[in-house]
Amino acid sequence: MHPYFKMKTVIRVPFEDIDAFNVVHNAKYFCYFERGRVEYLRHLGFMDDGDESLKNLEVAIVEHYCSYRKPARFDDDLSIHLRISYLKNSSFQFQYLITRDEESSLLTLGYSNLVFFNSVTLKPKTLNPELRDAVTQFEGDHLGQMTGIPEL
């Protein structure tokens, strides 16, 4: 277990994600980040209410960053390691490390800066208190401490 990244989820790379150079297409990693975010919410108990749980996904991405270190390939079992690094009133940051399971070497590293918003009015909204409490408890002392991405 990584000391900062306490949550991970696994993805097997499907053929459809492979590009003409036989590696995972660069844009697909942002979809892997997204699947990680959903599983992080589930891990904290916020994907259990069916359609209601979608309310927790009303987040707008403000900024995206990805650093590509080594390519992922067809049929790789990848681990997406996630953490929330800070939580403000309506904005927060997810950080990601992607590793290939059998070797635990770092393939990809990234972050998303996000804002909660109301999908009807399109205005930012305050993070709901239950989710704030759950994240604060889960991330512990590491929350808000640093802005860089701690590597493996």
Question: In the complex, which residues of this chain contact its own copies (CB under 8 A)?
Answer: 14-16, 18-22, 25-28, 30-31, 34-35, 38, 47, 53-54, 57-58, 60-68, 74-75, 119
Q: Is 144 helix (H, G, I), strand (E, B) or coil?
A: coil
The CA distances from residue 48 to 18, 27, 54, 144, in Å, are 32, 29, 10, 27
Tell me how far the alpha carbon of residue 151 is from its chain's centroid.
15
Spatial separation of the C-alpha atoms in residues 26 and 3, rounded to whole Å? 27
**What's the min distance (Å) between Cβ of 35 and its own copies?**
5
**What's the min distance (Å) between Cβ of 140 and its own copies?**
27
Query: Which is nearer to its own copies, 3 or 50 (by Cβ)?
Result: 50
**What's the min distance (Å) between Cβ of 55 and its own copies?**
12
CB 70 within 8 A of CB 22: no
Closest CA to 96 of 104, 71, 106: 106
Query: Which is nearer to its own copies, 30 or 138 (by Cβ)?
Result: 30
| Active-site residue identified among 19, 49, 75, 77 | 19
77 noted as active-site residue: no
Give the active site residues: 19
